[in-house]
Chains A and B, each alone.
Chain A
Amino acid sequence: MLDGKVPAGPLTEKWQNYRGTMPLVAPNNKRRLEVIVVGSGLAGASAAATLGELGYNVKCFTFHDSPRRAHSIAAQGGINAAKNYQNDGDSVYRLFYDTIKGGDYRSRESNVYRLAEVSTNIIDQAVAQGVPFAREYGGLLANRSFGGVQVSRTFYARGQTGQQLLLGAYSSLSRQITLGTVQMYNRHEMMDVVKVDGKARGIIARNLLTGKLERHAAHCVILASGGYGNVFYLSTNAMMSNASAAWRAVRRGALMANPCFTQIHPTCIPVSGDYQSKLTLMSESLRNDGRVWVPKHMKDVEAVRAGTLKPTDIKEEDRDYYLERRYPAFGNLVPRDVASRAAKQACDEGRGVNKTGLAVYLDFADAYERYGKSEANAHGIQNPSKEKILELGRKVVENKYGNLFEMYEKITGENPYHTPMMIYPAVHYTMGGLWVDYNLETNVPGLFALGEANFSDHGANRLGASALMQGLADGYFVIPYTVGTFLSKEIRTPQIDPNDEAFAKAEKAVSDRIDELFKINGSQSVESFHRRLGKIMWDYCGMSRSAEGLEKARKMVRELREEFYKDVYVPGSADEYNPELEKAHRVADFLELGEMMIVDAHDRNESCGGHFREEYQTEDGEALRRDDEYTYVAAWEWADPKAGDPVLHKEDLTFENVELKTRSYK
């Protein structure tokens, strides 16, 4: 049984007491202690900057050409914080409760409460850095609502909140680079974690321009390397987002927690062809005004697919607004996991509306009419024509979502003001990640994991606008304290020697792995293997899973992995800038991680959040959680597939402050 090292005391006092009683590291000792941070997104950049400010010697690594390119930059909607600036009844407890419930009761209470507590500090910090959040006329901060909650607590900077928050963290990081407390290593990929006497003491990094392997030693290592959504090949993640840093840690003994908890976002632009490289998100906010539907009759489905019938010509009574029909209480605003599954079911019934049969409509016609009438009224236009109403209504919608409509048109070539958008769910985020305790420390002493790379806060489903909050909470306000609990015991440890035998061995292992990949000299590209892996994962470990399907998938992934090591072709050489080699490493790791996700999904005999097992559903097709048996974190230990299966370690989840309830949106 794993120990989460949760401090004693009432929930509301745990973090305060922790900070008041934890051992400190004196400034003169901080100067001697070295910390490695892998990743420069919201979690990594904020951690590196803050640890630098505190006086530690920090080395920060990113595989990008600049820390500002990390994928946090692409987050659209916003960041939650329990500021209660709107006076609408928000509080730290309410944010905590919404997050626990939204996660379908599969996260750790103490971590989530701490997250809600520090959320308010994040907004203060970001504003002080110059993040240009949206403001009201009076100059105070504006808020909006997001799915799954009843208050307005989301702060935003148009549809580019992630970009602005990352640039804020990047600016703080840049300042520390100038001050010399942080040494930045751009275009460096972490290839392995180095353990000395059981503790994480450094990394092997590859300079991506020269191909040279480098040894970097430190007193501890912090991974802030993001999630693993790209296992599925097609996702809303950036092309280079990968799981390798986290996976290399797993290969060195760290545990991977709840890897089957992946988030499928309901509103993405559908796949349009075999050459497609990635998917694009359309913000959740669109579901405030858009209605989701498919035709009721197969003859209409066939006609729209063939292009002989326009969706706007399908009569109202021949449409199935299936979310409104199935979930009258929440309608189109059900949480992400529920909306995604319902879209899949409609398409499984054969009612998908594009050529591939994998798309549903998101229709704004009602909103145009509603807003148009109200505008006509406001401007005193008597008996407006239907055209006039629609024209006025489209203006209102354009003001609210103009940039998203423009993005849609750029990608699809269709004008969403005149025909309904077509959308389909896509992989977006991974709630699972490296197992960490309350200190955000993995089971490997001295190895920490922050942000999407860890598992701790979102349970089985993440609420909108909570990823930015967690990444920055971990980096600015949690790790700067909790790393001290580890480092205070290391003040007598001299500088770690990168010439230690452990470093030499790890470096040799990395260079052997590189040689192995070139030696295969097969006939298929890395990309083709990645595509095939993604297809298996999406078909059997995606929106809906079954024991039978997962067993089949596991076999397929193993066979694919064998084929990869027999027939992959990596062009170029190891001592140059070689993106294909980088990709080969990442896909090799995805081929192992994918199997672990399948094992975890197979083991969890219940449906919760993003994990839907077909065997465990209610009579009307809703998720059936099994709290009596599965209220635990499944943390998996890697085992060589030739030697046996991954080993399951459990951390029991105890809920002392909330009652476990069935989520219902009917």
Chain B
Amino acid sequence: MKLKLKIWRQKNQDSKGTFETYNVEANEHMSFLEMLDVLNEDLISKKQEPVVFEHDCREGICGTCSMVINGHPHGPNAGTTACQLHMRYFNDGDTITVEPFRAAAFPVMKDLAVDRSAFDRIIQAGGYISVNTGQAVDANAIPVEQVDAAEAFDAATCIGCGACVAACPNASAMLFTSAKVAHLAKLPQGQVEEQQRVLDMVKQMDDEGFGRCSNVTACEAECPKGISIDNIALLNRKYFAASIGSEKQAQ
């Protein structure tokens, strides 16, 4: 299949980017990233600079890929990361637009690669249980209801890719932040620090420059791992309880 690619090229964080057009010959068995590999091999053979895009596991779990394909983070297919998207979903002669995740808190570093370290800092603000190695009690000492463990898992399955931010017109990180808050709040081990955690993580999220949530729900629609907006509702409840219902303050 012959394709026309409109790809965002940007030298570095300080320079201005622009779309460039490339032609590429692909076949339907390739993954989207393998199609970009073919383009890059072609560019290198002409001694031109290859397109920088981030990727690693290429099986949808590491959360490294960060591109918007035809207007959708990770492309048009539901529940699929860019690396799992295959070319059989495109047609000969298609023009495909590829650009980086766009958000003030995710500055573009080069071409399709963005800086998502803001997510790390949100986790560092409180996305953990304070337990040192060796302090744990026996794993079966505290039973956890099966449904709670399953719901905690559903929230914890977030791969931290940032598609939720890229999909949101406000570039809000509420789905990401709430998934971590919910994961830990569903488990008895996480409930001890629940109130302080939600205050601190929300404050960090705001400080990083992410927008406010206005219930657009595009985050849920574009999330490759199906993280539910129920988590956002849970975060809001926990946040009210911690901010209005307690004397705790974000640190």
Contact = CB atoms under 8 A, between A and B. Distances in A.
A32 to B, nearest CB: 20
A525 interface: yes
B58 A178 contact: no
Contact of A66 (B12, B52, B86, B119): B119
Contacts of B137: 124, 128
B138 A171 contact: no
A160 B136 CA distance: 23
A158 B143 CA distance: 18
Interface stretch (B61-69, B93-101, B206-214, B242-250): B61-69
A577 B128 contact: no
B50 A477 contact: no
B59 A130 contact: no
Given A124-B139, A139-B143, A571 B133 contact: no
A177 to B, nearest CB: 5
B9 interface: no
Contacts of A413: 28-29, 86, 88
Interface string B34-63: 100110010011011110101111111111
A280 interface: yes
B139 A571 contact: no
B156 A167 contact: yes
B140 A141 contact: yes
B136 A128 contact: yes
B153 interface: yes
Contacts of B129: 128-130, 171
Interface residues of A, number: 79
Contact of A164 (B50, B120, B156, B189): B156
Interface in A280-294: 280-281
B37 A277 contact: yes
Interface stretch (A69-77, A500-508, A615-623): A69-77
A68 B160 contact: yes
Contacts of A476: 133
Given A123-B139, A240-B56, A411 B44 contact: no
Interface string B202-235: 0000000000000000000000000000000000
Contacts of B135: 128
27 contacts: A73-B57, A74-B57, A74-B61, A125-B131, A125-B134, A127-B142, A129-B131, A130-B184, A130-B190, A132-B149, A132-B183, A132-B186, A133-B139, A135-B146, A174-B123, A175-B128, A178-B125, A238-B57, A272-B29, A275-B27, A276-B34, A413-B29, A527-B37, A569-B44, A571-B44, A577-B52, A579-B52
Given A141-B140, A275-B34, A275-B37, 20 more contacts: A64-B64, A66-B116, A73-B62, A73-B63, A124-B136, A124-B138, A125-B134, A130-B184, A133-B149, A160-B61, A167-B156, A171-B129, A239-B56, A277-B33, A277-B34, A281-B59, A476-B133, A477-B133, A525-B45, A571-B49
